[in-house]
A and B are shown apart, each in its own frame.
Chain A
């Protein structure tokens, strides 16, 4: 699917995500034994209801709308029949990506900002889910669950319309029970705050996956000499006389952060993975796919 020349930014990002998602089969989130509160989807419930697959013909009863009469079947007999379809349910997946200022950054080593990569992965994942008939919604956004092919563009629109900001942690939003949550961000905030935030989600209960997106410069600290570091979220400046001398300590701190995030997630029933923006997005998408399909 190639973008048409007249496509706006929404269509472009949607198309890009589609192109990325085109390499994977449709994603059916591993079905959970969930209550009937789950909206209809493609998970067959072995009973009549709203769905696409044929289930049975039954005689027309008083009160059925006449438009539901299957005339081809009715013509074979004296009675009128109604076609019933199997009741299928859909799984709702909540998606979230970090929109804080620290995501709007890329080092000289890569061309793409962390936020752009996070949104690409989010949309690609959404494309896979929508293709599988699942319903997706943005965590914390005031919008209904989206489904079908048109849902992807609505999602991209909502992503682009959302202003920068936020604390870098998932918002404290209402989540339907037993739904899946996918969180994408850099997760450089203090571990206690991250644990609190994910713990709230786990208490609903909800489970899912945390994808940490980091710039290679954040992992390797490739600077030399006397450097004055400035933050993006109003942090205090830090003057480092010789960067070479603090690199080992930085590596240690970063490793502790990544390890701590993994522990927090495991404790809350989430899975976690790390993605460097220098790597190709396919690998990250594949890890997301595996984590959700499991």
Chain B
């Protein structure tokens, strides 16, 4: 600990004088109003003793005075030695992309340097080594006191481009030669570097060293290891491999998490990349389903806010157009029979399909070409196709009668002429089934359905390496799918036809999965490059946030993207029109990262290693102030002005009382004050949320449309809560729900026996559009039916009061429609013919549910606004039925009454 103003401590010597002064001054007398003062006048006291201030009050005042003196001497904890050199100091900060990762600590280090400078009263200037946002070369700020420079430092932001060492060196030389600097002789500089080597580093180090005494604050191990850069991802085996570069540091550094994100920021996949000690880069594949691959917008290094931690992906990373070509162009599209019919149906949801002649298809970039029983005769066409495959195309071929007769050259394996028929009238053999996929196959892991069988196929020439080419086979060992690589591309042959003639493979879901995997395997293609200048659309800032481009950003020619370095003129980001965005990434032009050499002759300090300086003065003076307040209170108390109770109350008020925990909701405390709909708590949070949202939506609807006023819905647990306060209980049944405990069952039976209505919702039981949404619930319902005293039931018809209680309803949909709704049989006169239980499977709560924005979060099935309207109307009828009982039952008799009246 040091004192910034040690001279003030001399004042401590005056404390004994203060002690004496305080001691001889008697305390002020208490003042007392007294009517009989006339009797007191002129009374001579027996002894005249000097009143004394109590010693502890004296000590309190002395302590406060000492605290003030020490506080004014400005003690500083953890102080670092004053900066060397004399004259103004130059604070040089690397504000390129690399510093962004540890930017708060860079700013803290800058602040600490200014703190140290402020103690000596020297001015300073600030120099950022990266080019500014408007593309200007770095230049130092004006020389100003540290307090003013602090504001400039606080608004300094890292830039999304690298530092410009050569320009910074020029600025340093200009500073050194500036007016007034030569005369002062020794200057001083503090350099907050990013520790990464860059062109011009030697020149920069020399210029910096020439200024005078240099203190270099370098990021060490962890901080340097955090300056990571995403490089261009690779395509490997159909997966995207993220590559992360860093400055090679020895020792352990935490693994990098790379997130694959969509354009709107959703994380689609994650890869964890471990760095071996000393490695400059590491890579890991991102497991990404093919349909998600099309949504990919960027790769992000999680936890690192810098432009280098983002790799923007443009259109060429996503597009996988598939070309389809059939042998028989005329009948190819015939429904159920044509060769392309099943291919189109299988691929359409996942890929962009193109059809046309081979020339038309190959004229544009294409990822996959599917040939269904099309023979390619040797010649120009075959050569073009072969060239396309060797450049990275994936050719998928299906066999058929034509290919069986005329095998051509573009096949993964040699074929025996003719085809092989399995089963049929003239054959002993039976149709063959699929064998499980071999481990190395791209189809590995797909389930093999029992029902897929193959009746005809083409046979591969038996060769020793045939098994290596087989991606799928039949149970008798003959290959079904074979593949071979040609150059950068691949040829895949299905030994059956693409329609149902030879095999029912095309009819199975396996066919879709196999084709999706094949398309995902193919390499993406580059978008048609626009050669004209592409204006910047969205650019990254220093922390890696996408935003509008800075004014200095210029359009970039289409062909220049590959070799343009990121700079203020061309910040990293997305360029070009919405439909064909091109990405310019920081990592594209930066090579491997290397640690920079330390500045020669500079005093080195680690970044953020030491604790920051802490000034004690303000705290000491605050403590002295508190003591003075205490002294004031004590003095007032001694004079009798303050009562003890008042002081205690004031002190209690000063204490910040913790806010009282929110009590139970008013509706749950006093449920009888209003009408509440209630739902049975199932224990499944999701279902309970839906129940609550549903009843909330229904309550709102009822409040809008009818005279009933419903308050917020209430969650109840039968057996624990008093059910008698609620007219209607909504009870969603879980498929895995155990039977409720005996006291809950007793409470529910009691509730039903005394006029309550329970709406039991199986949420997708048998018989409606929601069938199988909640499998196994019917068994649970049957068990409940045995345990509860449910009256004999009948299907709900339009004659029932429930269908007429408010709206006239023909059917009673919820989220699902069609399942019968069961109510008490009409003949039962118990309970005024009001059914104590209503059982259905239509998941009404989901249909009624509204979220905080007032939207309906759950789609109705099969759908339509009318279905939801009817669901609400059923809900209104239900509430009316629960509130009015069979009152509206008279409407059932209206025709009879009218008839009796002679109408």
Contacts and interface: CB of A to CB of B under 8 A. Distances in A.
Contact of B38 (A188, A227, A241): A188
Interface in B1-56: 26-27, 29-41, 43, 45-49, 51
A230 B45 contact: no
Given A238-B40, A246-B40, A232 B35 contact: yes
A239 interface: yes
A249 interface: yes
Q: How many interface residues does chain A have, given as a range?
A: 35 or more
A73 B415 CA distance: 157
Contact of A240 (B33, B36, B40, B49): B40
A279 B51 CA distance: 36
B40 A229 contact: yes
Contacts of A250: 39-40, 43
A228 B39 contact: no
Interface string A85-111: 000000000000000001101000000
A228 B47 contact: no
Contact of A245 (B34, B36, B45, B51): B45
Given A225-B30, A226-B27, A254 B49 contact: no
Contact of B35 (A186, A238, A239, A245): A186
Nearest to A114: B35
Contact of B30 (A227, A236, A242): A227
A236 B48 CA distance: 21
A201 to B, nearest CB: 23
A239 to B, nearest CB: 6
A179 interface: no
A112 to B, nearest CB: 14
Contact of A242 (B35, B38, B39, B47): B47
> Which of A190, A241, A257 counts the most B-chain CB atoms under 10 A from its CB?
A241
Given A188-B38, A218-B36, A240 B43 contact: yes
Contact of B32 (A215, A229, A245): A229
Given A245-B47, A246-B45, A249-B43, A235 B30 contact: no
A231 interface: yes
Contacts of A227: 29-32
A253 B39 contact: yes
A63 B35 CA distance: 64
A190 B38 CA distance: 9
A228 B32 contact: yes
A102 B36 CA distance: 8
A242 B37 contact: no
A228 B36 contact: no
B30 to A, nearest CB: 5
A223 interface: yes
A133 to B, nearest CB: 37
B29 A231 contact: no
A108 to B, nearest CB: 9
A103 B36 CA distance: 10
A223 B36 CA distance: 13
Contact of B37 (A223, A226, A238): A238
Contact of B41 (A105, A223, A238, A257): A238
Nearest to B47: A245
Contacts of B48: 241
Contacts of B49: 241-242
A229 B43 CA distance: 12
B30 A228 contact: yes
Nearest to A236: B41
Interface in A4-56: none
A234 to B, nearest CB: 11
A231 B47 contact: no
B38 A229 contact: no
A257 B35 CA distance: 14
Interface string A134-151: 000000000000000000
B47 A226 contact: no
Given A242-B45, A249-B43, A250-B40, A226 B35 contact: no
Interface in A208-230: 215, 217-218, 223, 225-230
Contacts of A217: 34
Contacts of B29: 225-228, 239
A250 B41 CA distance: 10
> Which of B30, B34, B40, B51 counts the most A-chain CB atoms under 10 A from its CB?
B34
B39 A254 contact: yes
Nearest to B39: A253
A231 B26 contact: no
B45 A241 contact: yes
B42 to A, nearest CB: 8
A254 B27 CA distance: 30
A105 B35 contact: yes
Interface of B: 26-27, 29-41, 43, 45-49, 51
Interface of A: 102-103, 105, 114, 186, 188-190, 215, 217-218, 223, 225-233, 235-236, 238-242, 245-246, 249-250, 253-254, 257
Given A228-B31, A238-B37, A246-B46, 5 more contacts: A226-B26, A228-B29, A235-B37, A241-B48, A253-B39
18 contacts: A103-B35, A186-B35, A218-B36, A225-B30, A226-B29, A227-B29, A227-B32, A228-B31, A229-B37, A235-B37, A236-B41, A238-B37, A239-B29, A242-B49, A245-B45, A246-B45, A246-B46, A250-B43
